[in-house]
Chains A and B, each alone.
Chain A
Amino acid sequence: MKLFSKERPEIPIVDHLKEDGTEWTIKEKLWLGLSISEYKKQFMRNPLNWLMILICSVGIPLIIGRFVFGLGWVTHASNDYPWGLFLGFGLFGMVPLSASGFMLGTTVELFGRKDFHSIERLALLNGLLGYFFAVIFLEVDLGMWWRLPYPMFVSLGPAAVLFLVAWHVATYLSVQIAEVLPALFEWCGWLKGKRVIRKYVLGLTVAGIILSTLHQGALGALFCYAPAKVHPLWLSINFQWIHFFCSSIFAGLSMVIVVSTLIKNGMGWRCDDEFLDNLDYVTIGMAKGASYAMITYLIIKIVAVAHDQEWSYLLTGWGSYYMLELAVAVVLPMLMFAIGIRNHWVKLIRFGALIAAVGIIWNRLNTSLICYNWQMYQEIPHWKEIWITVTVYSFFFMTYRFILYRLPIVYNWKGEK
């Protein structure tokens, strides 16, 4: 696309009208204004696409196999570790990284910080897709995946934590769709819909905060069901929900920093000047927000150790691992943020954000897999399970890119708004 956008002035599409004054059709917009052969050419030229093809060529048959032969065909069918990578990574890891939607929605719409406007849509989209694919991961993992709506409509168990997760993720997904729809409406030129949503934006944002607080917390509280299984250092009965909620704040912000960096470097042709010019400023701003969340998180993690009288655990091997996690996944990026913010070293912040985002996945995997059944044995996921996880994640990547190429997320629509 970089080449095409240099050669042809009308590409990338930012307006309803072509150079000659006629309108782009939706089909042309979908093909990015390229002919099919041109589209193919740009597709083949990108080595990332070859990697995707490689992953999917094995992964898609594996996914089909999972649905035809059952979960036992792709996993170790463990009764000791009922939750594997699909939930450990896909649900518990993806959801905190998707907290960006409500974070920046709140910043811009609720606190009126219009200076973060240029990144808001990206954060909302990041949230929406993260949640959507967390649900996809869940579907891959559910034994009776066709019964997904059962907890909502068929048989209700409202006193269970998972009931809250189900309802909140479902309603929040709808809220996020509503929040991202204006971009779609601009792109296809249906302004009435955009105006309708604009009216409810404050309500949607507040709903987003409530639902996020509760289900980010609820994901943590799920582990309170296993007080005798998860290692005590990774489980605090009283504070688990707030640990998960608080860490999702910097996880979501770090994820947006990581994604925006990738966009800036790999998709520069798609961004407009507002996005690129503001990026360093908003990155520093988000890093500031993330550092506050990190220091809070660090303190409440220590408070939890003190509250449960777990100091002696810190001297064991598990304790060293715990401190390693906190040092690498929280303290290190926090220091990088602090130094980066002070000296305006945006590159350092970006690197720190990558560490923090990976670190949060590490924390969730520790809680759900590695330090789960710590007194038993270590489950190492089946290679098929790992491959399917990577495949679904690459679907996430491709969908993300597909939307960024088209909808006005990192650029402003020039036509009617």
Chain B
Amino acid sequence: MKKLFNRRNFLKGGLATTAAAAVLKNSDSKAAGDFTGYPEGMGVLVDLTRCVGCRSCEAACNEEQGLPEPAKPFNDLSVFDELHHGQKRRTNEAAYTVVNRYDVPELDHPLFKKFQCNHCNEPACLTSCFVNAYTKTPEGAVIYNAKVCVGCRTCMIACPFYVPTFKYSSAFKPQIMKCIFCYDTRLKNGDAPACVEACPQEALTFGRRTDCIDMGRQRIRETPGKYVDHIYGEHEVGGTAWMYLSSVPFDKVGLNTHVPKEPIINSVKDFLAMVPMVLTIWPGLFVGFHLLATRKDRVIEMEKEKELAKQNEIDEKEEQV
């Protein structure tokens, strides 16, 4: 007879499994829980007090990303008065970044805010995507792979900043269109994105995300009263690579202050945790219900069988007699 395993092999196997489990568990616990961004991840600090609304960043982005030429040229400032459904301009398939003007009553001048993908640490688009089309690169960019995307647009639902847009105009090659931090052409090589380079006002500062936060804090500290004491994006939805400094409350410059402080995926974890439980508990539970519910029928059947057996016995005896 062949032995399937002896004691020594069993011990070896057991040890190996334990070791593997320990290693795997370790790497697991690193990935799950509180991911606060890649340590070397880059970011940009947007200082609203410095922006003059020249739209140079929009023009640079348009050129860098090879986007179609807009109807109005980039030096046309009348776009700031445009309203669509009562909303200011937003990103779309032809513009990865837009600048909007905000008239704040307390100030004697308007404020301008550049907006684009904020490149979250734990992006909602990425965590909601069921084909893994998104990647958060160690450099800090959230990039997108059009080759696997099916066009379900859940990322657009999930993004708390309304960033991803869809190329609705295309029937055969639609895809998600969004800022990718100039990953392919610049960030990969350690260069600043085109918009940052184009800014004449140094309203955009490119650097390591941690350094950007330091710099933001420094500016707040060194010029008391100039800024709201908060860096928008430091903690919003778990932290973003692009962050904002403002002289007025952030909701007055079109930044949603009601977004959760935790990554969006945390809102979904309750449900995700329930899934394996249903998968494992339901079968036993419901087969059990079935056995309970049909118990009476079974009892009746068994009694019938018994009676039948008895009858047979009697018959057999009679035959023998």
A positions within 8 Å CB-CB of B: 67-73, 75, 77, 79-80, 82-83, 106, 110-112, 141-145, 147-148, 150-151, 154-157, 159-164, 166, 202, 206, 209-210, 213-214, 217-218, 220-229, 237-238, 240-241, 376-377
Q: Could you tell me if A155 and B131 are in contact, using CB atoms closer than 8 angstroms?
A: yes
- Assess the B133–A155 pair: CB atoms within 8 A: yes
Complex Cα distance, B24 from A261, in Å, reads: 57
> Which residues in A have their C-beta under 8 angstroms from that of B279?
210, 214
Contact with A along B236-272 (1 / 0, CB 8 A): 0000000000000000000010111000100110111
Q: For residue A107, which residue of chain B has the nearest CB? A: B293
Residues A160 and B150 in contact, CB atoms below 8 Å apart? no
A18, chain B: closest CB distance, angstroms: 39
Q: How far is the CA of A374 from the CA of B99 in the complex (A)?
A: 24
- Cross-chain contact of B267 among A79, A147, A227, A377 (Cβ < 8 A): A227
Known: A160-B130, A228-B260. A75 touches B154 (CB 8 A): no
Closest 6 CB pairs of A and B: A143-B151, A72-B168, A77-B168, A70-B171, A221-B271, A82-B153
Whether the pair B131, A112 counts as a contact (CB closer than 8 A) is no
Q: Across the interface, which residues of B come within 8 angstroms of A223, CB to CB? A: 157
Give the complex CA separation of A160 and B271 in angstroms. Answer: 11
A-binding residues in B (CB < 8 A): 85-87, 90-92, 124, 127-133, 148-154, 156-158, 160, 162, 164-172, 174-175, 256, 258-260, 264, 267-268, 270-272, 274-275, 278-279, 282-283, 286-287, 289-290, 293-294, 297
Query: Which residue of A is nearest B129, CB measured?
Result: A157
Give the CA-CA distance A228 to B293 in the complex, in Å.
Answer: 45
Q: A112-B293, A143-B153 are in contact. Are A151 and B130 (CB under 8 A)?
A: yes
A328 → chain B, closest Cβ, in Å?
27
Assess A210 versus B278: contact at CB under 8 Å? Given A82-B157, A222-B154, A225-B124: yes
A80 pairs with B90, CB closer than 8 A: yes
Interface contact A161-B272, CB-CB below 8 Å: yes
Query: B148's closest neighbor in chain A, by CB?
Result: A155
Sampled A-B contacts (26; CB under 8 Å): A67-B171, A70-B169, A79-B91, A82-B154, A82-B166, A111-B290, A112-B293, A143-B166, A143-B167, A151-B150, A154-B148, A155-B133, A155-B148, A156-B131, A156-B132, A157-B132, A164-B275, A210-B282, A217-B274, A224-B268, A227-B264, A228-B258, A237-B267, A240-B271, A241-B274, A376-B87
Q: Which of A111, A145, A237 contacts B270 (CB 8 A)?
A: A237
Interface centre among A73, A151, A159, A166 (most CB of B within 10 A): A159
Q: Which chain B residue shows the least CB distance to A147?
A: B150
If the complex has contacts A70-B170, A147-B150, are A157 and B130 also in contact, measured as CB distance less than 8 A?
A: yes
Are B124 and A209 neighbours in the complex by a CB distance under 8 Å?
no
B130 with A110: CB separation less than 8 A: no
* Neighbouring B residues of A214 by C-beta, 8 Å: 275, 278-279
Q: How far is the CA of A21 from the CA of B169 in the complex (A)?
A: 61
User: Is A161's CB under 8 angstroms from B128's CB?
Assistant: yes
Majority-rule SS of A interface residues: helix
B-side contacts of A161, CB under 8 Å: 128, 130, 268, 271-272
Question: Quick one: which of B130, B171, B275, B294 has the most chain A CB within 10 A?
Answer: B130
Instruction: Provide the residues of chain B in CB contact with A150, threshold 8 Å.
Output: 131, 148, 150
Cβ distance B209 to chain A, nearest Cβ, rounded Å: 22
Q: Which residue of B lies closest to A166 (CB)?
A: B130
Q: Are B271 and A82 in contact (CB under 8 A)?
A: no
Instruction: State how many angstroms separate the Cβ of A116 from the closest Cβ of chain B.
Output: 13
Q: How far is the CA of A154 from the CA of B150 in the complex (A)?
A: 11
Chain A positions within 8 Å of B268 at CB level: 161, 221, 224-225
Q: B226 CB to closest chain A CB, in angstroms?
A: 28
List the A side residues contacting B149 at CB < 8 Å. Answer: 143-144, 147
Is B293 a contact of A160 with CB atoms below 8 Å?
Answer: no
Q: A154-B131, A224-B271 are in contact. List 11 more A-B contacts (CB 8 A).
A: A79-B164, A110-B293, A111-B293, A143-B153, A157-B129, A159-B272, A160-B154, A221-B268, A224-B268, A225-B124, A377-B86
